[in-house]
Amino acid sequence: MLIPAIGVMGTMLAIAVYRPLDQTRFLWVGLIPFFVIVILVGHIRRKAMGGGDVSGFFPVVYWVACAPAVVALALWLNGTLDRSVPETHQQLVTRKYVSHGRHGASYYIECTSWRPDRTTETVSVKYRQYTQFRIDDSILVEVHRGALAIPWIGDVRKPE
């Protein structure tokens, strides 16, 4: 249980530092294996206590347990090894909102999208940045290619 828990924490930290453009996908890929492991370990314990053979579960449990750590490692390597020049996109703020969770508030800015298949982009920002922007303000979003081709958001700021 320790490896998947560390992997989930590493994934969440990597998402906070190197904000993937589509972070929800990576969050789910990190979280779903964790919950699968919790369910599998419970099932294995019940089966073992009943005297059943659980040796066939170990290869599956091992690989599923490593999935969150692999996601965390990929996100860290993608951001750390990225030496590409970021693309800067000037967009308009369309909405701002705060999400309250167990660990405090998270601040988000929604802006027009620079990608052809989307109308808006949602970017997590720090409280200080959140208070600087108003709806219809112009905003600069730096997008890095990523060493592993996972685009991530760098700086978010007002144009000078």
DSSP for 5-47, please give it.
HHHHHHHHHHHHHSEETTHHHHHHHHHHHHHHHHHHHHHHHHH
Q: Would you say residue 57 has pLDDT above 90?
A: no
Q: How many residues does the chain have?
A: 160
Nearest alpha-carbon partner for 146 in 46, 75, 92, 61:
75
| pLDDT of res. 69 | 87
Instruction: Give per-residue pLDDT as tens, 35-47.
Output: 888 888 888 888 8
Q: Would you say residue 1 has pLDDT above 80?
A: no
Cβ atoms < 10 Å from Cβ of 154: 16
- pTM for the predicted model, two decimal places: 0.81
| pLDDT of res. 155 | 94
What's the whole-number average pLDDT of the chain?
A: 90
Least confident piece of the model among 77-81, 101-105, 133-137 = 101-105
